[in-house]
A = this chain, B = another copy of it.
Amino acid sequence: MSDQMSRITLARRPSGAPVPDDFKLVTEARPEPAEGEVLIEVTHLSLDPYMRGRMDDAKSYAPSVDIGGTMTGQGVGRVIASKADGFTKGDMVTGMTGWASHACLPASELHKLDGTLPPSTALGVLGMPGLTGWVGLHRFGQPKAGETLVVAAATGPVGSMVGQLAKAVGLRTVAIAGGPEKCALATDTFGFDAAIDHRAHDDARSLRKTIAEAAPDGVDIYWENVGGKVLDAVMPLMNVHGRIPVCGMIAWYGGANVEDTNQLPAMWRSILVKRLQVSGFIIFDHWDQYPAFLADVGPKVAAGEIAYLEDVAEGLENAPYAFIAMLKGGNTGKQIVKL
């Protein structure tokens, strides 16, 4: 049994929100590393909203997961066998392990952890979500002191990074989050100037009124993580020459319809009249910035200047349940699975 491994595969394509039966736990023989590869025992696995897109068959920026294929994702783990120069047994590394207990990966696709911070930070605040916030805010948000930023999913690992970085540049930062606990986190832990509970508002109009009060000078940057009601609420509040980095649309993953059939024309009108810059981006285009990001943000995390929060589920077999809950906003902070 010691040479066995487990992985979570895609059993079938979800229709709408994923359910447990869309996943399957498979146990099989552990692979041997080929020349240039290492075998990793995964200790922590990252769950991220983008994975929902990989479950669909639709053309996307990355290939779909095949039926029967391992769910893709970043993991952290310990090298237990190495056939690659520069890696030895016991090294802690991160790479695209997938939802699996073990993975063989080429050394060129791995990043070695330096051990100054807990390994799980390589999946969140110092991993893909952190990099997403850092690249997206600076490159597409172009924050300027005195401006106002609104962030959806503000206590998530991307949103909390964006809010803290923007605050440090001198912006007024307004968090949108689900529920009073997350709102308290947004202001108390992540330093947002204001936090708004979108669940307290049944419709976009009511939410908009509250955002307008929290952003009396209008919104210069709307960090788009969610789509849906929040987008509808914020759009008319955008200032001239506002920027909207589009990083996700969790409210609309798995298909959705908008109730207000005038929303699209109204949005298009805002883009035109306010001269907005709407920039879709995918972090996989920007991995070349990872060293610069680590050099800038790593010391700030180590010094406690940038806060982070992790929500840890236990056991690979619970990854599907944690993922399903996360898509509904059930997590608090970066969702990790500890193996």
A interface residues (Cβ-Cβ under 8 A, vs B): 53, 59-61, 227, 231, 240, 246-249, 252, 255-259, 261-265, 267-282, 285
Contact = CB atoms under 8 A, between A and B. Distances in A.
A61 B270 CA distance: 10
B249 A256 contact: no
- Kindly report how many copies of this chain are found in the complex they form together: 2
A61 B277 contact: no
A335 B267 CA distance: 28
B275 A249 contact: no
B282 A268 contact: no
A261 B262 contact: no
B268 A231 contact: yes
A277 B279 contact: yes
A23 B123 CA distance: 63
A272 to B, nearest CB: 4
A254 to B, nearest CB: 10
Nearest to A271: B280
B265 A252 contact: yes
B285 A269 contact: no
Contacts of A276: 278-280
Contact of A285 (B53, B252, B275, B282): B275
Listed residue (A256, A264, A267, A271) with the most chain B CB atoms within 10 angstroms of its CB: A264
Contacts of A277: 277-280
